[in-house]
């Protein structure tokens, strides 16, 4: 009798994968199809009357106008409404892959992200029609260590709704009608001396996490190759090669409306209408965490992210600085990629190896990123001594408690079980399944199912 292997594939995929924070392949090209399945978050759409409000979870009694000025500061303060569709975030998304974080912004219809006026004189509020060089900032602020005591409060910079503990930013600056620079910020310290220390550490590829008042931050452009001579010449405060093993990576400290353009390591693209923008920020721009020696941002971490668009007065009503910040999102840089789920039906496609772990043996080159960075958990597998549950590479038996702890790191679980084990241990399997949170993908592959003879 021939035992044909038939794989039973159970999955609860579509809705879960849509909303999960999973490892993606986003291409920065101004085409947003690759964002379609990424979870969407919304921010209210402002109106000219200023009757659209938002609250910070940390100060929920305060009603903050959605788009507002930049002169009020502090958690207990309420800024003044300013109307400007160019900064009026209505939708945003966050994604990542093995090396970078990706952000998607959409502003209200008619708004254009990065739109700035052109001129030579300074903006003069008594003579606002005099052409002046406008500025526009696309800002991502991150609580990198999930410690509310290190980093700044958003409101210290005039941004609302406020959130605590923001240690680092990455930003795009548009200036005088065009793109000007992209850079990272390290927010640490409360004095010019401490700022000086942060600078010296940044030059050594170190990122500082410490208590901070907003105005103390370093601002550096990061290149993963030697910049052009023109860029080097324009660096205002020196130009530094990072120490070994990061030779050939460079930073130069910058400031707002520096004489760009500087094409640092961040990249972005916009829709034709200009109301959508995607940005890619390599983790490496956040250097190494001075406390741990590890990359400051890397896969496996959970961080809090606050997005802001901000612009100078020219196109605002009334003509004042104007910004809109989105609700803070807790985001996990999960290890697993699950975007190419399909139900496997042929043994050939899977190249099953019963002695090994299912997925590590799969040759699925068509969309291979599906299988990168996965960790397999298997149970009922004949190790000696026999273990009920095993996390690959840990080489120890895993308790339910540990499974629950790890569960948050993963987007989902593909459970590969022999039919016999499955039938003899239904209760145990049920226990494992229920101990995995409901918002995770759970897929069971039952192998060695005998093909029915006809
Ligand atoms: C802005 O650009 C315009 C046109 O290129 C130029 O005439 C003007 O001097 C620039 N302004 C500044 C502040 O560089
Ligand atoms: C992270 O953001 C979430 C959602 O806003 C919030 O509930 C949580 O308290 C934040 N955590 C920290 C450490 O700020
Ligand atoms: C930091 O301060 C020292 C001593 O005051 C000074 O020599 C050095 O140039 C400063 N470094 C930076 C990066 O500003
Ligand atoms: C730095 O400033 C923050 C915010 O004002 C404050 O909470 C912190 O205690 C200060 N740290 C030091 C070392 O002064
Ligand atoms: C995977 O499949 C591709 C295409 O069929 C083939 O070129 C490649 O050699 C295979 N890789 C392995 C490791 O089997």
pLDDT digits (tens, 9 = 90+) for 31-55: 999 998 899 999 999 999 999 999 9
Q: What are phi and psi of 387, to 5 degrees?
A: -115, 150
Ligand 1 centroid – CA 123 distance (Å): 13
Region for 124 from its dihedrals, namely left if φ exceeds 0, alpha if ψ lies in -120 to 50, beta otherwise: beta
Rounded to whole angstroms, what are the CA distances from 404 to 92, 373, 400, 432? 30, 19, 6, 9
pLDDT digits (tens, 9 = 90+) for 77-88: 999 999 999 999
Segment 192-207 mean pLDDT: 97
Ligand 2 centroid – CA 330 distance (Å): 6
Ligand 5 centroid – CA 335 distance (Å): 24
Q: Is 199 in the pocket of ligand 3 (CB under 6 A)?
A: yes
pLDDT band, very low/low/confident/very high, at 357 (cuts 50, 70, 90):
very low
Segment 4-25 mean pLDDT: 44
Q: Is 372 in the pocket of ligand 5 (CB under 6 A)?
A: no
What pLDDT is stored for residue 303 in this prediction? 97
Q: Is 339 in the pocket of ligand 1 (CB under 6 A)?
A: no
- Indicate the range of 263-277, 353-367, 391-405, 419-433 predicted with least confidence: 353-367
Strand partners, 90: none
| Closest ligand relative to 360 C-alpha | 5
Segment 239-247 mean pLDDT: 95
Per DSSP, the three-state class of 69 is coil
Ligand 4 centroid – CA 189 distance (Å): 8
Q: Whose CA is nearest to atom 4 of ligand 5?
A: 365
pLDDT band, very low/low/confident/very high, at 165 (cuts 50, 70, 90):
very high
User: Which residue of 116, 120, 178, 261 sits with most ligand 1 atoms within 8 Å of its CB, as the best mutation to test the pocket?
Assistant: 120
Q: Whose CA is nearest to atom 10 of ligand 1?
A: 120
Q: Is 118 in the pocket of ligand 1 (CB under 6 A)?
A: yes
Three-point CA angle 389, 390, 393, nearest 5°:
175
List strand residue ranges (DSSP E) for 131-249, in order: 135-143, 168-175, 178-187, 206-207, 217-223, 240-241
Q: Whose CA is nearest to atom 1 of ligand 5?
A: 363
Query: How far apart, in whole angstroms, are the C-alpha atoms of residue 80 and residue 67?
Result: 8
Q: Is 200 in the pocket of ligand 3 (CB under 6 A)?
A: yes
Query: How far apart, in whole angstroms, are the C-alpha atoms of residue 202 and residue 237?
Result: 13
Distance of CA 170 to the CA centre of its chain: 11
What pLDDT is stored for residue 452 in this prediction? 54
Kindly state the percentage of the chain with pLDDT values over 70: 75
Inform me whether the pLDDT recorded for 420 exceeds 80: no
Name the CA dihedral angle for 222, 224, 226, 232, rounded to a multiple of 10 degrees. Answer: -10
Q: Which residues of 269-307 are buried (b: 16+ CB within 10 A; e: fewer)?
A: ebeeeebbbbbbbbbbbbbbbbeeeeebbebebebbbbb
Inform me whether the pLDDT recorded for 275 exceeds 80: yes
User: Which residue of 193, 195, 196 sits with most ligand 3 atoms within 8 Å of its CB, as the best mutation to test the pocket?
Assistant: 196
Domain extents for the chain? Answer: 33-333, 363-447
Inform me whether the pLDDT recorded for 142 exceeds 60: yes
The tokens for 272 are: 């034709």
Pick the more confident residue, 9 or 317.
Answer: 317
What pLDDT is stored for residue 296 in this prediction? 98
What pLDDT is stored for residue 1 in this prediction? 24
What pLDDT is stored for residue 446 in this prediction? 72
From 167, 38, 41, 12, select the one nearest 96 (Cα to Cα): 38
Rounded to whole angstroms, what are the CA distances from 49 to 30, 85, 90, 224, 321? 32, 13, 17, 46, 17
DSSP 44: P
Ligand 4 centroid – CA 157 distance (Å): 15
Q: What is the mean pLDDT of the chain?
A: 82
| Closest ligand relative to 251 C-alpha | 3
Inform me whether the pLDDT recorded for 242 exceeds 70: yes
Inform me whether the pLDDT recorded for 308 exceeds 50: yes
Q: What are phi and psi of 285, to 5 degrees?
A: -65, -20
Inform me whether the pLDDT recorded for 384 exceeds 50: no
Three-point CA angle 68, 61, 105, nearest 5°:
40
Q: Is 257 in the pocket of ligand 1 (CB under 6 A)?
A: no
Query: How far apart, in whole angstroms, are the C-alpha atoms of residue 207 and residue 201?
Result: 7
CB 70 within 8 A of CB 322: yes
Inform me whether the pLDDT recorded for 387 exceeds 90: no
Ligand 2 centroid – CA 435 distance (Å): 24
Cβ neighbourhood burial of 121 (10 Å; 0-12, 13-18, 19+): exposed
User: Which residue of 118, 123, 260 sits with most ligand 1 atoms within 8 Å of its CB, as the best mutation to test the pocket?
Assistant: 118
pLDDT digits (tens, 9 = 90+) for 106-141: 999 999 999 999 999 888 888 888 899 999 999 999
From 294, 450, 333, select the one nearest 96 (Cα to Cα): 333
Give the count of beta carbons closer than 10 Å to the beta carbon of residue 433: 12
Ligand 5 centroid – CA 363 distance (Å): 6
- 3-state SS of 218-272 is EEEEEECCCCCHHHHHHCCCCCEECCCCCCCCEEEECCCCCCCCCCCCCEEEECC
From 144, 160, 196, select the one nearest 46 (Cα to Cα): 160
CB 174 within 8 A of CB 262: no
Highest mean predicted confidence (pLDDT) among 77-81, 362-366, 383-387: 77-81
């Amino acid at each position: 009798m021939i035992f044909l292997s038939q794989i039973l594939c159970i999955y609860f995929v579509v809705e879960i994968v849509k909303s999960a924070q999973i490892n993606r392949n986003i291409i920065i090209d101004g085409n947003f199809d690759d964002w379609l399945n990424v979870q969407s978050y919304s921010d209210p759409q402002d109106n000219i009357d200023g009757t659209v409000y938002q609250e910070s979870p940390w100060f929920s009694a305060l009603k903050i106008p959605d788009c507002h000025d930049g002169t009020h500061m502090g958690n207990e303060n309420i800024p003044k409404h300013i109307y400007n569709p160019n900064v009026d975030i209505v939708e945003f998304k966050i994604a990542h892959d093995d090396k970078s974080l990706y952000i998607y912004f959409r502003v209200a219809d008619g708004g254009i992200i990065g739109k700035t006026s052109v001129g030579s004189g300074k903006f003069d509020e008594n003579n606002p029609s005099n052409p002046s060089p406008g500025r526009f900032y696309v800002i991502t602020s991150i609580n990198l260590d999930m410690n509310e005591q290190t980093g700044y409060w958003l409101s210290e910079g005039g941004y609302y709704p406020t959130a605590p503990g923001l240690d680092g930013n990455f930003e795009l600056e548009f200036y005088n009608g065009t793109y000007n620079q992209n850079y990272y910020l390290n927010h640490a310290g409360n004095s010019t001396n401490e700022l000086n220390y942060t600078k010296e550490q940044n030059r050594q590829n170190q990122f500082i996490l410490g208590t901070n008042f907003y105005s103390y931050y370093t601002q550096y452009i990061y290149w993963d190759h030697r910049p052009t001579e023109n860029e080097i010449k324009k660096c205002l405060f020196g130009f530094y090669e990072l120490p070994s093993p990061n030779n050939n990576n460079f930073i130069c400290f910058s400031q707002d409306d520096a004489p760009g353009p500087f094409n640092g390591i961040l990249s972005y693209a916009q829709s034709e209408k200009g109301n959508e923008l995607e940005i890619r920020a390599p983790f490496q721009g956040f250097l190494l965490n001075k406390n741990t020696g590890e990359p400051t941002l890397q896969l496996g971490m959970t961080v809090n992210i606050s997005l802001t668009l901000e612009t100078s007065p020219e196109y605002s009503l009334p003509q004042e600085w104007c910004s809109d910040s989105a609700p803070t999102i807790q985001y996990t840089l999960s290890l697993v990629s699950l975007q190419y789920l399909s139900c496997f039906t042929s043994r050939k496609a899977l190249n099953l190896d019963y002695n090994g772990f299912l997925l590590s043996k799969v040759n699925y080159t068509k969309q291979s990123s599906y299988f990168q960075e996965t960790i397999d958990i298997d149970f009922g597998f004949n190790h000696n001594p026999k273990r009920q549950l095993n996390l690959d590479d840990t080489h120890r038996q895993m308790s339910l408690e540990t499974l629950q702890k790890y569960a948050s790191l993963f987007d989902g679980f593909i459970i590969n079980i022999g039919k016999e084990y499955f039938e003899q241990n239904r209760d145990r399997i049920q226990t494992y399944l229920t101990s995995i949170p409901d918002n995770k993908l759970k897929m069971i592959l039952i192998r060695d199912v005998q093909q029915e003879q006809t």
